[in-house]
Amino acid sequence: MKELKDHVVVMAYGPSEGSVTASPVSQQTPSLFAYSITPSTSRFSSRRASVHVIGLVLRFLTLVLCFVSALSLAVNVHRPSRRYLTQNSSSFASYPELLYCFVVAVIGFVYTCLQTFKGVCDITHRGILISEPLSDYISFIFDQAICYLLVSSSSVAIAWIQHINEDAINTLRNNSIISVSMSFSAFFVLTLSSLLSGYKLCKRFMW
């Protein structure tokens, strides 16, 4: 057997003397770049899917927290006595601080509902509702705005809770504490969503 560069020459000797046949056998050299793209592509797609799933979980948590915050103010089981009926109202709508907190919680709930629905659509059907570049801009801007509204309304409600002492609205005060706690929790979770939106936006500029 004689090997010449990329071909192998096989020397076959037949039954008769002096008859020699040479048959070249081609030997293919494997390419160095044959499988270099597939692992990185799959790794990138899996990382992208994990980012979408994390964002969807954060949106869902914010949705639940905003819903509980608004519900704790809307549901009022307290029935004031006749003695306090003319002095104080047990409805949160009578107090601008609590009304502001309720409206912000509803806005946050509606916003996160839309974002959660869009996140599910992005995982199942990518880019079916809105393009990804525009979605990153909208998510980053509105996340910042809703975060500011949540922390602002919670701060105002805390000031009202500290200055209210009437026994007639004790239940409303307790519900307000629950609402503020949920609102602050929604603020922290939405802050993580905002950081994730900023990460996706920066990645779009850098890569």
Closest alpha carbon to 68 in 21, 109, 121 = 109
What is the rounded CA–CA span in Å between residue 165 and residue 1? 102
Q: Which two tokens stand for residue 113?
A: 């509902």
Instruction: Check: pTM over 0.75? Answer yes or no.
Output: no
Residues 30-46, mean pLDDT to the nearest whole number:
45
Domain extents in the chain: 46-206
Q: Residues of the chain with pLDDT > 90: what percent?
A: 32
CA separation, residue 7 to residues 11, 14, 19, 32, 160 (Å)? 13, 22, 22, 19, 89
Model confidence band, residue 23 (pLDDT cutoffs 50, 70, 90): very low
**Which ranges in the chain belong to alpha helices (H)?**
38-74, 82-85, 96-124, 132-163, 170-206
Tens digits of residue pLDDT in 97-138 = 889 999 999 999 999 999 998 888 877 776 566 777 788 888
User: Which pLDDT value is given to residue 13?
Assistant: 47
**pLDDT tens digits, one per residue of 150-168:** 999 999 999 888 887 666 5
Q: Which DSSP state fits 141?
A: H
What percentage of residues in the chain have a pLDDT greater than 70? Answer: 64
